[in-house]
Amino acid sequence: MENMQYAEELVREFLVFRGFTNTLQAFEKELSTDIGKGFQVDKILNLIFSVYITNFQAEKLVGLLSFFKQCVSSSETVLTATLAKLEISILRYYIVHALQSGRKDKVVEFFGTNGNDLLLRGQDWTSWFAIPYLKNPSLDPQFRIYFTKEWYEALRLSISSEKNTVTRLKKDIKQLNVKLSQLQALLEEKEAQLSRLKNNSETIKYANIGRTKNSTLASGVNEESLLLSTNSSEACATTAMHMGSTEMGQTWASSQPALSRFATNMAGNDSISPSKLEFEAVGAGDIIQTFNDGLYTENGRDAQGEEDFPEVKVDFLETFLGHTSPISCCRFSSSGNNIASASVDGTVRIWTYDSSTPASRNATIYCGTEIMSLEWECKSDRLLLIGTADGGIKAWNVDAKRVVCDLNTTDAFPSVLDLKCSPVEPIFVSAAASRRYGSSNIYSWGFASLTVWNMKTWKAMTVLPLGEDPPAITSLCFNHNGKILAASAVDGMIHMFDMSAGLQITGWPAHDSAISSILFGPDETSIFSLGSDGKIIEWSLQNQGQVLWTRNCSRFCDPESSKSCRHEMALDVNGRRLLVTSGSVRAPIYQVRGHASGMRTLPHGAAITTVDWHPTLPMFLTGSADHSVQVMSLS
């Protein structure tokens, strides 16, 4: 069903692109009389019993039933047999309804048109050819059952039961997709375990070699020490030799630099003393592994490594494959019913993940240039704002399916890095930046410009002050009442603005690197920032500069992925889970200020470039460089 709607969208786009307006009108007219009614059972029942049978449109009724048979593969024997039985019952009800309405002529006409085909089917139709000539067929023992209300209700019920079958099949397919993803994840986990076992075996091998070499070296030093020392010195050297051979073999993998330094000192100093030997051995032994079975030390305590996070358990998984290039941005609408996704080829698609949600708003928007930001209007799902790399800001009306306003920033600030709508007022703020040439990463953006726009007049209201030659602003965030705007910059600064006065009220240096994303905490007493170096920090707004919580996801924010996209994060509706983009095929979900371990998303085929949480449900989406978008609901 989803593929059919997608194909219809492609046909519309082609006809509009080529200017075939007459053909488009004919196509829309044909769709309005769609014979299959999109396989929606309620509409099909209404078409059969309220239109075709009631108006004695036998030819259209037979054509509809034949169409359904063509939609079923001949290999589906059970479904084919079921449809054949339903067809016989529906045609017999047509005959009964015509006789009850006093239209024997329609029954004669029906047999005249379809009689030969019915006889060839061999479904005991012979006796039915006499029914229009019977004086009172409703009392005939052979036909009496077909004139009862119970038989009619049973017929409608049997057709409706097919709806439950289709729904169940769809659910089974989704469950199979989830199971497939889980099996794929299990396979990756087993491969990772195999790789770790292989690495461990190599580590043991090298450790044994190191133990042998160190024992030899220590023995040589011990022999030399015996010639120059007393019996007490001999005892000391023996102890040092034992420590060197044992501890170094155990800590080879974690203390290889110290061990190399130790071996170099021994090789370059023929007169090394026993005390020096003991010092170096203890120094090497003091080096403790910071990684052990997936645990790492952070902020003075142990935390579970992201690679060992359990895979997220999902009740629902939907994969959207409507893009033909890597995904750059995805956003849920304010109600969560619609999703807007953008790809690097300048295409925006509006779609829904739930088959029960009307697809009337589904659309494809071609912008012709790189899309850098998406933002839904906060009060409704009616407007979508699109920021581009050529200074354009498009306002798309999803109901009218057209651009209602096409704004432009000044030529000096062509890159619209972020857009944010006020949750209260009909305004939005754009963060635009000038361009530095010769660089391909986040630092290629030059100076910043923050403009406040009126969404009623579609005109610029004011420019927020940032000082002289301010570094580019990368991310914006309003608080719940729209009175405070937070902005993050490439120089690592966080700026706070009073929107009523239009002035900056505070700011502080938050990162040593550029900030990619910024979010208010759930109770708005804190603010989260994500640096391009992978550091996540939760800052207190009551005690400015105080760090409440931090994580380091630098292993996911690799430099290569940072060149092609800005890493971003998203908080769930309760503010307890933080989802972050990833240069890997999985993204981490951190438990904010919680003792429970985090989770890992189901895998994509490439890096995860954009993330977002549903505004009200425990559901999130991930967009990837593999051109797909996944929507997952937590179990």
State the 10-residue block means of pLDDT for the chain, 635 residues long: 67 79 80 57 78 87 78 64 82 90 90 84 79 88 87 80 60 71 74 73 58 47 40 41 38 36 38 36 34 36 57 90 93 94 94 83 91 92 93 93 91 91 95 69 76 94 92 94 95 94 93 93 92 92 89 75 72 92 91 78 92 94 94 91
Q: Is 126 helix (H, G, I), strand (E, B) or coil?
A: helix
Q: Are 203 and 211 in contact (CB under 8 A)?
A: no
Tell me the two tokens of residue 161: 């039961």
Q: Are 349 and 323 in contact (CB under 8 A)?
A: yes
Q: Is the distance from CB of 250 to CB of 258 less than 8 angstroms?
A: no
Other Cβ atoms within 10 Å of 577 Cβ, number: 21
Q: What are phi and psi of 78, to 5 degrees?
A: -65, -45
Return d(Cα 337, Cα 253) in angstroms, integer. 52
In angstroms, the first-to-last Cα distance of the chain is 26
Side chain identity at residue 552, one-letter code: N
Predicted pLDDT of residue 474: 94
The token pair that represents 521 in the structure block: 């905490």
Distance CA(21)–CA(117), nearest Å, equals 41
CA distance 604 to 132: 64
| Residue 591: how many other CB atoms lie within 10 Å | 15
Residues 381-418 as b/e (b if ≥16 CB within 10 A, e otherwise) read: bbbbbbbbbbbbbbbbebeeeeeebebebeeebbbbbb
The span from the CA of 598 to the CA of 591, in Å, is: 5
Report how far Cα 515 is from the mean position of its chain's Cα atoms: 22
- Distance between CA atoms of residues 549 and 569, nearest Å: 15
Whether residue 520 contacts residue 540, with contact meaning beta carbons closer than 8 Å, is answered with no
How large is the greatest C-alpha to C-alpha distance in the chain, in angstroms?
Answer: 133
Tokens, residue 108: 């004669």
CB 552 within 8 A of CB 512: no
Q: What is the pLDDT of residue 245?
A: 37
Beta-sheet strand order (sheet of 402-408)? 371-376, 383-388, 392-397, 402-408
Give the integer Cα–Cα distance in Å for 622 and 311. 15
Domains in the chain, ordered, with CATH? Answer: 2-171 (no CATH), 187-302 (no CATH), 327-408 (2.40.10.480)
Q: What is the pTM of this model?
A: 0.56
Residues making up the chain, counted from first to last: 635
Q: Residue 376: which of 347, 396, 346, 348 has the closest Cα?
A: 396
Q: Judge contact between 557 and 534, C-beta under 8 A.
A: yes
CB atoms within 10 A of CB 317: 19
Q: Tokens 């996801």 identify what position?
A: 553
**Amino acid at position 330, single letter:** C
- Cβ(508)–Cβ(493) under 8 Å? yes
